[in-house]
Amino acid sequence: MEKFTVLTSIAAPLPEANIDTDKIIPARFLKTTKRTGLGKHAFDGMRYLADGSENPDFVLNRSPYRQAGILITHENFGCGSSREHAPWALLDFGIRCVIAPSFADIFYNNSFKNGILPIRLPREICDELMDDARQGANSRITIDLERQVVIRPDGSEIAFEVDPLRRHMLLEGLDDIGQTLQRESAIEAFEDKRRQTAPWMPSISVD
């Protein structure tokens, strides 16, 4: 998983509450188990018209927001089903950070596991950041995870909170498996000892 330390990017404003996971990635695209290739279907029902052409009114179809790495939205983002394809689709599109007043719990947890930083900030702050984002390509926002601040285009800083373990895993680029493999030598030592003291028990490999 790619490390998340400091992200400076164009931010896309999406002032809508209760965007569910079916809007983020519709169910008909869930046949794959690959984490790549879903970006083109992110927000499919919002991005494309009935004839398959792009909806010119949708923010991610407009320049400069096609290159957005940050999404700013409203309450309860990621509600609905628990599909992990939702953060996969956002990440494949290029979104590394979502800022909202609140998130659905499962989506919030899945985001950290896939290298996306979800930041909770009050609604009024989100609206101010959306105003910043609407200024376009010359108005970039910086997310400094080490210092836990959002830096606005004018240089002012907004502090945010994140669980220390989740912060550590993002900074180090660790998913659950990567975190376990940090203890690989200890696991192997334990298994070697167990093979000697209890050879009748099945062995576990971290390969």
The per-residue pLDDT for range 36-90, each reduced to its tens digit, is 899 999 999 999 999 999 999 999 999 999 999 999 999 999 999 888 999 999 9
Domain match, 53 and 153 both: yes
Range of the domain at 198: 175-207
Domain match, 160 and 185 both: no
Domain match, 142 and 159 both: yes
Confidence (pLDDT) at 82? 86
Domain match, 93 and 28 both: yes
Confidence (pLDDT) at 190? 65
Distance CA 55, CA 37 (A): 20
Q: Is residue 1 assigned to a domain?
A: no
Domain match, 143 and 195 both: no
Domain match, 117 and 187 both: no
CATH number at residue 164: 3.20.19.10
Domain match, 194 and 139 both: no
Q: Is residue 161 assigned to a domain?
A: yes
Domain match, 48 and 137 both: yes
Are 74 and 101 spatial neighbours (Cβ–Cβ below 8 Å)? yes
Residues 189-194 have a mean pLDDT of 65
Confidence (pLDDT) at 36? 86
Distance CA 121, CA 156 (A): 15
Domain match, 167 and 179 both: no
Task: Give pLDDT tens digits for 85-137.
Answer: 999 999 999 999 999 999 999 999 999 999 999 999 999 999 999 999 999 88
Residues 6+ apart with CB under 8 A from 93: 39, 40, 42, 60
Task: Give pLDDT tens digits for 156-176.
Answer: 999 999 999 999 999 999 875
